[in-house]
Amino acid sequence: MSVVAGISTPRGTGGLAVIRISGEGCIDIARRVFKPSGSTEIADMKGYTCCYGFVRDEENKIIDDCILTVFRAPHSYTGEDTVEISCHGGVYVSEKILRAVIACGAESAGAGEFTKRAFLNGKLDLTRAEAVMDVISANSEAELHMAENLRTGAVFGRVRECSEIIRELLASVAVWIDYPDEDMSDITPDSALEKLGEVRTKLEDLSANYDTGRILREGVSTAVVGKPNVGKSTLFNCLSGFDRSIVTEIAGTTRDVIEESVRLGNIVLRLADTAGIHQTDEIVEKIGVEHAQRLIDSSELVIAVFDGSCPCTADDFELVERIKNRKCVAVVNKNDREQLFDTEVLTKNNILTVYLSAKEKDGIDRLGKAVESVLGVSPETFSETAVNERQKRCIDRALECVREAESAIKAGEMFDVVNVLIDDAEQSLLELTGERVTEAVVNEVFSKFCVGK
Ligand code: GDP
């Protein structure tokens, strides 16, 4: 593979910038742009060693004084010889050094090029390569934890377990096909069904974890609904950490239309249309019910706010009717005041209820726990292996084949028919791990990466 070079640090001003050069021949290129200050000969440098010196341009003028680190194949991130030049962290200086490196024969690295090379050189399977990107883009402890799980090969390991069972099955089926008249194969419909059932359960578990991952990565679309003046805006401000809207004593006078994400514990709530939080009386009258209903229907999670300091009204009963079959949490707000709200309607409908005071910011942590519980996301599930969308597609394809194979056996089909289906399942799993994958898939995976990684 050719030598590629790219700036691995973010574009901007900082303490350091790193220019990474990878591929056979990168040491030669480094020798041409970098002159050690002492007697060090770059070609003789061992892996994991560095030296101080100067990068010069084509006219032999010093661009910057830098540290050069050498990594020797296969003990580098990409698995190839690699050189990293750490220079002063300026946009101009780092780009000038990159240009000098390219002028000496390196090609400019594409998005994710270094990680792609690591994959192509067998340093990472595809799931671990994808995890590198997840680690970079992690926004919370839980996301980072999941990405680390992926990076340490948890998904790969579990997919491998399925592959091994499938391969055993395929081997038995092959013997059965090759020697149809003899009793060479130990396979029976029952034993095949047992193995397929095992694979199916494992794949179903993995597929189910997708939702946890998705919720943690992307957040959950949330509708905050309730009558005017129950404290929706106050709760919203409390979650977002600062005042975003006008909170008034007069019902329905908060007028801002805000679309925003707020973090609640481990989960990001995407408040898709906060106009619902800030309805005016006028809007309530005109489109209130319809609007709230649309908001409820289009959201994954509903937080219904009630005023604990007022008795229950017909509107509250109606709201409960609307939300009771949804993923919802009831907030009985203003628990710093005397409580007059009869919560029987909530308990009767098995709605998870949190008593809090948005104004006093008291009980928000309980709301976080309730939301996690309703969404089925708990600290324990973070240690699970959450799969991404591409991986889920592969898993679901494999699952479909396994289910079809089970049906075929139950319908009395011969193993040669079943064989094709099991083999298709195996192909999908190989695509997941990247062991057998088309160039197009690889390119798609790495196109989401940043340049320099
Ligand atoms: P919204 O119309 O549902 O958005 O309600 P607001 O957030 O505008 O709140 C209406 C009124 O209730 C304001 O005067 C708030 O200060 C008050 N309020 C909100 N939450 C609480 C609370 O927890 N305790 C008390 N005592 N008052 C609250």
Helix (H), strand (E) at residue 85? strand 82-89
Identify the CATH number of the domain in which residue 182 sits.
1.20.120.430
Residue 403 confidence (pLDDT): 97
What is the C-alpha separation between 367 and 382, in angstroms, rounded?
19
Inside any domain, residue 121: no
CB 423 within 8 A of CB 392: no
Single residue among 324, 349, 381 that ends a domain in this structure = 381
CA distance 46 to 44: 6
Q: Which two tokens stand for residue 26?
A: 């990168």
One domain, residues 333 and 369 = yes
Phi, psi of 419 (to 5 degrees): -55, -45
Q: How many domains does the chain have?
A: 3
Do 271 and 197 fall within a single domain?
no
- 189 and 234, same domain (yes or no): no
**Atom of ligand 1 lying closest to residue 226 CA:** 3
What residues make up the domain containing 431?
141-209+387-446
Q: What is the pLDDT of residue 272?
A: 58
Q: Which of the two residues, 259 and 330, has the higher pLDDT score? A: 330
- 22 alpha carbon to ligand 1 midpoint, in Å? 59
Give me the mean pLDDT over the 164-175 stretch.
91
pLDDT on residue 242: 54
Arithmetic mean of pLDDT, 309-338: 93
Q: How many residues does the chain have?
A: 453
Share of the chain above pLDDT 70, in %: 87
Looking at the structure, tell me whether residues 285 and 374 fall in a common domain.
yes
Q: What number is the average pLDDT over the span 38-65?
A: 94
Residues 248 and 158 placed together within one structural domain of the fold? no
- Give the residue with greater pLDDT, 206 vs 87: 87
The confidence band for 289, taking pLDDT boundaries of 50, 70 and 90, is: low
**What separation in angstroms does the CA of 359 have from each of 23, 112, 221, 230?**
60, 47, 24, 11
* Dist. CA 242 → ligand 1 center (Å): 15
pLDDT band at 278; cut points 50, 70, 90: very low
- Please tell me which residue, 9 or 248, carries the higher pLDDT value: 9
Which of 103-112, 217-226, 400-409 has the largest mean confidence? 400-409
Best residue among 227, 229, 234, 340 to mutate for probing ligand 1, ranked by most atoms within 8 Å of CB: 234
pLDDT tens figures, 92-140: 999 999 999 999 999 999 888 999 999 889 888 888 888 887 777 776 6
Q: Are residues 246 and 296 in the same domain?
A: yes
Domain membership of residue 130 (yes or no) is no
- Please report which residue ranges of 12-112 form alpha helices under DSSP H: 26-33, 91-103
Tokens for 102? 């390219």
Determine which residue's CA is closest to atom 10 belonging to ligand 1: 229
Distance of CA 161 to the CA centre of its chain: 23
Does position 355 have pLDDT exceeding 50, yes or no?
A: yes
CA distance 415 to 408: 9
pTM of the model: 0.64
The Cα 411–Cα 387 span in angstroms is: 33
Tell me which of 38-47, 101-110, 356-365, 444-453 is least confident.
444-453
Strand-pairing partners, residue 451, are 111
pLDDT higher at 376 or 405: 405
How wide is the angle at C-alpha 68 spanned by C-alphas 67 and 69, nearest 5°? 120
- At 415 the pLDDT is 87
Looking at residue 449, its pLDDT comes to 77
pLDDT-wise least confident of 69-83, 120-134, 260-274: 260-274
Q: pLDDT tier at 258 (50, 70, 90 boundaries)?
A: very low
| Res. 237 pLDDT band, cuts 50 70 90 | confident
Token duo for residue 376: 């089925």
Q: Find the CATH number of the domain harbouring 334.
A: 3.40.50.300
Question: Hey, which of 340, 359, 360 would you mutate to test ligand 1's pocket, going by the most ligand atoms within 8 Å of its Cβ?
Answer: 359
Q: Which amino acid is at 328?
A: C
Q: What is the pLDDT of residue 428?
A: 94
CATH number at residue 14: 3.30.1360.120
Residues with CB under 6 A from ligand 1: 226, 228-234, 247-249, 254, 277, 333-334, 336-337, 357-359
Q: How many helices (H) and strands (E) does the chain have?
A: 17, 13
Nearest CA to ligand 1 atom 2: 229
Query: What burial letters (b/e) apply to 94-133, b meaning 16+ CB within 10 Å?
Result: bebbbbbbbebebeebebbbbbbbbbbbebbbbbbbbbbb
Of 392, 393, 444, 399, nearest to 424 by C-alpha is 399
Specify if 115 maps to a domain.
Answer: no
Decide if 414 contacts 93 (C-beta within 8 A): no
- How many angstroms does the Cα of residue 376 sit away from the middle of ligand 1? 29
* Predicted local distance difference test score (pLDDT) of residue 4: 96
Residue 279 clears pLDDT 70, i.e. is over it: no
Region for 23 from its dihedrals, namely left if φ exceeds 0, alpha if ψ lies in -120 to 50, beta otherwise:
left
Q: In the numeric block, which tokens belong to residue 15?
A: 């303490």
Cβ neighbors of 321 (< 8 A, separation 6 or more) are: none
Whole-angstrom Cα distance, residue 376 to residue 373? 5
Question: For residue 363, what pLDDT is reported?
Answer: 93
Residue 126, Ramachandran bin (φ over 0: left; ψ between -120 and 50: alpha; else beta) = alpha
pLDDT for the residue numbered 379? 64
Answer whether 365's CB lies under 8 Å from 357's CB. Answer: no
**Angle of helix 289-298 versus helix 314-323 axis, rounded to 10:** 30
Domain finish residue from 109, 127, 158: 109
How far is residue 204's CA from residue 29's CA, in Å, rounded to a whole number? 50
- What is the overall mean pLDDT for the chain? 85
Which is more confident, 449 or 432? 432
Domain end (from 381, 407, 425): 381
146 Cα to the center of ligand 1, angstroms: 37
Amino acid letter for position 128: R
Please indicate, yes or no, whether residues 269 and 415 belong to a single structural domain of this protein.
no
Query: Does 235 lie in the same domain as 315?
Result: yes
Tell me the backbone φ, ψ of residue 238, rounded to 5 degrees.
-60, -40
- Indicate the SS3 state at residue 22: strand
If you write DSSP's letter for every residue of 166-206 in order, what string do you get? HHHHHHHHHHHHH-TTSS-----HHHHHHHHHHHHHHHHHH
68 found inside a domain: yes
Q: How far is the centre of ligand 1, averaged over its atoms, from the C-alpha of 181 (Å)? A: 80
pLDDT of residue 336 exceeding 80 = yes
Residue 316 CA to ligand 1 center (angstroms) comes to 16
Q: Round to whole Å and give the CA distance between 128 and 121.
A: 13
Distance of alpha carbon 329 from its chain centroid, rounded?
Answer: 25
Q: Is residue 124 part of a domain?
A: no
Could you tell me if 366 and 230 lie in one domain? yes
In this predicted structure, which of 96-110, 258-272, 309-323 has the lowest mean pLDDT? 258-272
How sure is the predictor about 307, in pLDDT bands with cuts at 50, 70 and 90?
Answer: very high
Query: Is there a single domain that holds both residue 226 and residue 344?
Result: yes
Higher per-residue confidence, 446 vs 282:
446
Q: Which among 247, 255, 354 is the best mutation to test ligand 1's pocket, defined by most ligand atoms within 8 Å of the CB?
A: 247
Mark whether 232 and 103 lie in a shared domain. Answer: no
| pLDDT value for 382 | 60
In the Cβ-directed half-sphere of 166, how many Cα atoms lie within 13 Å? Answer: 29
Query: How high is the pLDDT of residue 249?
Result: 43
pLDDT at 238: 86
| Distance of alpha carbon 5 from alpha carbon 244, whole angstroms | 45
- Domain assignment present for residue 117? The answer is no
CA of 387 to the centre of ligand 1 (A): 41
pLDDT at 235 over 50: yes
346 & 308 share domain: yes
